[in-house]
Amino acid sequence: MSVHPKQNTGGDANKKIIVWLMAIVIGMFGFGFALVPLYNVFCSVTGLNGKTGGQIALPAVLNVDTSREITVEFVATLNENMPWSFYPDVRSVKVHPGEPTRISFYAKNNTNEKIIGQAIPSVAPGLAATYFHKTECFCFTEQTLQAGEEKHMPVVFIIDSDIPKDVNVLTLSYTFFIKPGSEAAVSLAHNSKHQEL
């Protein structure tokens, strides 16, 4: 009677599955960081999703329409891995089209290390985004908060007087993302991988 050696295919199969799952987790994490630049390119090409434009200068003569009032609501969200507190100092304001308005958002780094973030704005309804202009905004540059640091970040905006008459409410939203490659992002990625395993 001949005895065949026992084949250890189960262990090899498990190793292959673990390697594939690790590759998928790393790929998904990398794709999450790539979403910010991909979103910017998509919105600049298509004009969809209420992506607001860059900084503009205040006109020398303001064309304020005092016969109308538009309610502007503010929403603040954080990317899944962003360990900050972030919210608007006021939830909404009423403004006249053509009138510069200043508001601010509060942010606090809740970790023990420096974090660099970038805010991505959007306006709803999306078609009204072309009438919404910012002259000052924390979203124009990356924001660095040291461990435990907090600050109020200003936004100055003007709604174009030519905005359609049926638009009475706008929502300005910001989502904060961790800058790819920052110390905190690397640390969070490392912790995230261990939690998923």
Q: Is 149 helix (H, G, I), strand (E, B) or coil?
A: coil
Encode pLDDT of 30-78 as tens digits.
666 555 555 554 444 434 444 555 545 555 456 889 999 999 999 999 9
Q: Is 172 helix (H, G, I), strand (E, B) or coil?
A: strand
**Which structure tokens are listed for 96?**
């006249």
pTM beyond 0.85, yes or no: no
Q: Please name each of the domains of the chain with its CATH number.
A: 39-186 (2.60.370.10)
Give CA–CA dist 33/58, Å, rounded: 34
**Judging by DSSP bridges, how do beta strands 150-159 and 132-137 pair with one another?**
antiparallel
Tell me what pLDDT residue 83 has: 93
